[in-house]
Structure 1
Amino acid sequence: MMDQYNFPQVTQLAIPFFVAAILIELWLVRTGRAKGSFETRDTLTSLMMGTGNVVAGLLLGVVSYWALLWLWQFRFFNLGLSIWVFVAAFLLDDLRYYVYHRIAHRVRWVWAEHVNHHSSQHYNLSTALRQSWTGLFTFTFILQAPLVLAGFHPAVIAFVFGFNLVWQFWIHTETIGKMWGWFEFIFNTPSHHRVHHATNPRYLDANYAGTLII
């Protein structure tokens, strides 16, 4: 029965792409072919934090998953595994991420964990990997509880969130400028997320989106 809920680990599968993209961006910036900035120690710090985040996720992430799996027995519905369930799960989890991200900037306990992501003085693809190792202890995974109770299996939620995280990787760059108007209207893009990472007072606490900006 549980075999039907065995989905690929999207973010882990994307790691080779992450590394290749960072190296390509680094080459483009260092050779003057693209806009951006890299500093060796800063980049290495981001990569080490990203590695630690993956390890922490493997060791501690199971705790939050098991908690949600326990909650699954109290669900009101079982929505199954149709394509529309995955689409709905993705959209609702993207909204859940927006709520989490807003909390992460407004609640000090959660900001203490999230601030690490904003600690770099540079904005490049390696910055996307600059993640904390202590996310479990913010207990923000409980924001996924309503989705589980509504009938989305925890494995489905984890699967669709992987795509959200992969999307958020490529928007951490200065190499890509503003994109097509319709695309900027619907999706979170590098130009939107640059505003989110800006330190100018007028831009603080803006654009909390994950994948969708609307």
Structure 2
Amino acid sequence: MDSYNFPQVTQLAIPFFVVAILVELWLVRTGRARGSFETRDTLTSLMMGTGNVVAGLLLGVVSYWALLWLWQFRVFDLGLSVWVFLAAFLLDDLRYYVYHRIAHRVRWVWAEHVNHHSSQHYNLSTALRQSWTGLFTFM
């Protein structure tokens, strides 16, 4: 398999996301923006996000090795053109849209997704409320 050096997008995004949460908190606390933060709720969101990352690392190893094994059976390689990246981006966005629709309509998947909607406050930290069990729902 060819090795490509892609930027670690998540590692680059985390500092910006943390800064955005802190800016939002400051704007709300100083009255410059509407909203609310509760320390326990925000800490719960942070712990759920951390748990999601840990679960993803532990359970993602299985997917990673399975995909590496399947790679040997590929029929063709599309390469790394701009069009491939654009198509992959659009297909992944469509995949997530379909997953999210299913997550709101199928009880089995809703059980995995509901924690994302469990906060009493709607702020940026709520986005961290991600499931630890996506692998078990096959989503």
Distance in 2, matches of 1:35 and 1:107, equals 34
Identity of aligned residues (%): 92
Distance 1:37 1:213, change over 3 A: farther
2:138 alignment counterpart: 213
| Distance in 1 (alpha carbons) for counterparts of 2:36 and 2:14 | 22
CA RMSD of aligned residues (A): 3.8
SS at match of 2:3: helix
Note closer, same or farther for the CA distance 1:10–1:35 as it changes in structure 2 (3 Å cut).
same
Q: Secondary structure at the match of 1:64?
A: helix
- Count of residues in correspondence between the two structures: 137
**Structure 2: 5+ residue stretches without partners:** none
For residues 81-109 of structure 1, the C-alpha deviation after alignment (integer angstroms, 9 at most, x for no partner) is 11211111001111111111111112222
d(CA) in 1 for partners of 2:17, 2:64 = 25
Q: Deviations over 1:140-195 (max 9, x none)?
A: xxxxxxxxxxxxxxxxxxxxxxxxxxxxxxxxxxxxxxxxxxxxxxxxxxxxxxxx
Gaps of 5+ in 1: 136-211
Residue 28 of structure 1 deviates from its aligned partner by 0.3
Distance 1:50 1:27, change over 3 A: same
Give the TM-score, by structure 2 length.
0.87
Deviations 1:44-88 (A, max 9, x none): 100111111111111111222322333333333210111211111
Stretches (4+) displaced over 6 A: none
- Assess, with a 3 A threshold, how the Cα gap between structure 1 residues 109 and 70 changes in structure 2: closer, same or farther: farther
The alignment's TM-score, normalised by the length of structure 1, stands at 0.58
Pairing 1:22-171 to 2, within 5 Å after superposition: 22-135=21-134
Residue 6 of structure 1: how far off its partner (Å): 4.4
Distance 1:213 1:17, change over 3 A: farther
